[in-house]
A and B are shown apart, each in its own frame.
Chain A
Amino acid sequence: KAGVTQTPRYLIKTRGQQVTLSCSPISGHRSVSWYQQTPGQGLQFLFEYFSETQRNKGNFPGRFSGRQFSNSRSEMNVSTLELGDSALYLCASSLVTGSGANVLTFGAGSRLTVL
């Protein structure tokens, strides 16, 4: 079955612009999580959506937002881009087990460069 698909894979923006990243989860997975990965900070949790509702949120400013659609596809948006937003943005979907364990399947990521 198809894995987690993220688009676009690479993009370059300038400071002040905004960007929207898309994630299509594995079919049947209802939970989608987003992470930001940078060399200095590692993988930082952004937010998690389940059945169109934000279930959890990390410690990022309000410029970072997301949403999930009824088909479980998710988007994240970053407004007023800053140089420090340059990172690999990873989306992961999961099928929460009956015992509550949340095993993530990641996409290949969207590499954002802010100039």
Chain B
Amino acid sequence: SQKIEQNSEALNIQEGKTATLTCNYTNYSPAYLQWYRQDPGRGPVFLLLIRENEKEKRKERLKVTFDTTLKQSLFHITASQPADSATYLCALHSSNTGKLIFGQGTTLQVKP
């Protein structure tokens, strides 16, 4: 069956360090993958999109990699700040169904 897996345990890091979040998937052939940020009580906010033929995408302190062989995406936040504390969701566009399917999300806590 199709699965998207993100670390269910919260990730706690110190301010200034690089946070790395993982998104693994099985039985998907995604045309593209997206990362969203969600703060408590609010809807997710789009951060980055990476296509299947792209290896890496950057936006300011954010970097996303996409390895279709490993079926994995890594999301990095460099020089992390307490304001980066939130839940981060990956989402896959299924070429088969056309749906955008989300992982469960990983909660990041950046401590000052």
Contacts from A to B (Cβ < 8 Å): 4, 33, 35, 42-43, 45, 48, 55-56, 58, 90, 92, 100-109
Contact = CB atoms under 8 A, between A and B. Distances in A.
A109 B93 contact: no
A42 B42 contact: no
Given A101-B32, A101-B49, A90 B43 contact: yes
- Chain B contact surface mostly: strand
Nearest to A99: B51
B100 A55 contact: no
Nearest to A91: B43
Contacts of B89: 42-43
B100 A33 contact: yes
A4 B46 CA distance: 13
A35 B105 CA distance: 15
Given A33-B100, A109-B43, 16 more contacts: A42-B103, A42-B105, A43-B44, A43-B105, A45-B99, A45-B102, A56-B99, A58-B99, A90-B43, A90-B44, A92-B43, A101-B32, A101-B93, A102-B93, A104-B44, A106-B43
Contacts of B103: 42
Looking at A55, A56, A92, A103, the one whose CB has the most chain B CB atoms below 10 A away is A103
B31 A100 contact: yes
A92 B103 CA distance: 16
Interface string B71-112: 000000000000000000101010001111111110000000
